[in-house]
């Protein structure tokens, strides 16, 4: 899906990159995971820990950086060799950038519509 969408958006000079993190050490994870779930995650992780927010941020910064345009269509797995959870989508053009937590709805060729994105 990522590469197909990136191919269609390229016609409009919009670049698409996806970051697919595993569970990340955040307040939300601390609230959401039970102690048993957290223990299972850490036991199954090859690094025996969750990702740190800055580790995920570095991947997003790369995809949003100038010079990463030709990486359009790529998926960066920030998962410490663990299973992938929900990807973050990053759409960018020379004029704007959108971060999404869920799949995008796209209207072509007139442009991009956002269902769960924020600028």
Token reading at 39? 């223990």
Which residue segment(s) compose the domain that 90 sits in? 2-118
- By the 8 A CB rule, do 18 and 75 touch? yes
CATH, residue 55: 3.40.50.720
Q: In this predicted model, what pLDDT tens digit does every residue of 7-40 receive, in sequence order?
A: 988 888 888 888 888 889 999 889 989 999 999 9
pLDDT tens digits for range 65-115 = 888 888 898 888 888 887 645 555 555 555 444 555 444 443 333 443 433
Q: How many domains does the chain have?
A: 1
> pTM score > 0.85 for this model?
no
Strand 74-78 with 15-21, pairing = parallel
């Amino acid at each position: 899906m990522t590469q197909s969408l990136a191919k269609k958006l390229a016609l409009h000079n919009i670049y698409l990159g996806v970051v697919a993190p595993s569970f990340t050490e955040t307040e939300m994870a601390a609230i959401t995971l039970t102690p048993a779930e957290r223990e299972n995650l850490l036991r199954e992780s090859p690094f025996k820990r969750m990702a740190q927010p800055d580790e995920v941020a570095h991947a997003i910064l790369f995809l949003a950086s100038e010079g990463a345009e030709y990486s359009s269509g790529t998926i960066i797995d920030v998962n410490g060799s663990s299973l992938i959870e929900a990807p973050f989508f990053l759409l960018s053009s020379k004029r704007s950038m959108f971060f999404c937590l869920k799949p995008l709805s796209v209207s072509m060729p007139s442009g991009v519509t956002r269902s769960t994105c924020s600028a």
